[in-house]
């Protein structure tokens, strides 16, 4: 297979390309299947709550009330991000099993190359594509 030969010949570059492509697909799925305006609103609420918690130092009741608001926001954020995760989970598992079969003998630390590439790609793509 031509793709596997290229992956074996250039393992570092190919794993970084795979990481970028997987991250791109996951970011696009997230953007399509989440309410981006609501996600951004929830993140703003969380930031405001963090400031309120700092201002309420020493007042445990006020901090507890703010923490409840933070927990509600966090739960809603998780609910919104659950659907894209379900859509991408099985294809990612299948891809990882294939990739590990190719790279296990060629590039021992392939996962760390993937992990690093995916983090950098995710940060860049979320900014470029304006994904919350």
Contacts of 82 (CB under 8 A, 6+ apart): none
pLDDT band at 58 (very low <50, low <70, confident <90, very high): confident
Instruction: Provide the domain limits for residue 89.
Output: 12-128
Number of DSSP helices (H) and strands (E) in the chain, helices first: 5, 0
Asked if the model's pLDDT at residue 1 lies above 80, the reply is: no
Mean pLDDT score of the chain, rounded to an integer? 93
**Cβ burial, residue 121 (10 Å; 0-12/13-18/19+):** buried
Asked if the model's pLDDT at residue 116 lies above 90, the reply is yes
- What local confidence, expressed as pLDDT, does residue 56 receive? 83
User: Is residue 7 in a domain?
Assistant: no
Confidence (pLDDT) at 105: 87
In a domain, 3, yes or no: no
pLDDT value of residue 47: 92
What's the mean pLDDT in 66-71? 91
Among 55, 86, 50, 51, smallest CA distance to 71 is for 50
- What global pTM score does this model have? 0.82
Considering the domain boundaries, does residue 96 fall inside one? Answer: yes
For residues 83 and 130, give the distance between their C-alpha atoms in angstroms, rounded to a whole number: 19
The answer as to whether 4 is a domain residue is no
Please indicate, yes or no, if residue 5 is contained in any of the structural domains: no
Please count the structural domains in the chain.
Answer: 1
Tell me which of 132 and 82 has the higher pLDDT: 82
| 88 assigned to some structural domain | yes
What percent of the chain is modeled with pLDDT above 90? Answer: 76
| Residue 46 within a domain | yes
Helix, coil or strand: residue 67? helix
**Inside any domain, residue 71:** yes
The CA-based angle 129-131-25, given to 5 degrees, is: 70
* Whether pLDDT at 55 is above 90: no
């Amino acid at each position: 297979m031509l793709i596997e030969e290229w992956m074996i010949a250039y393992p570092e570059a190919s794993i970084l390309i795979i990481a970028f492509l997987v991250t791109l697909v996951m970011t696009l799925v997230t953007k399509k299947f989440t309410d981006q305006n609501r996600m951004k609103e929830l993140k703003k609420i969380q930031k405001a709550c963090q400031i309120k918690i700092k201002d309420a130092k020493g007042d445990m009741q006020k901090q507890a009330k703010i923490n409840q608001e933070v927990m509600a926001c966090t739960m809603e954020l998780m609910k919104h991000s659950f659907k894209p995760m379900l859509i991408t989970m099985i294809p990612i598992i299948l891809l990882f099993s294939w990739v590990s079969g190719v790279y296990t003998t060629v590039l021992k630390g392939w996962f760390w190359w993937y992990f690093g590439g995916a983090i950098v790609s995710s940060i860049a793509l979320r900014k470029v594509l304006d994904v919350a």
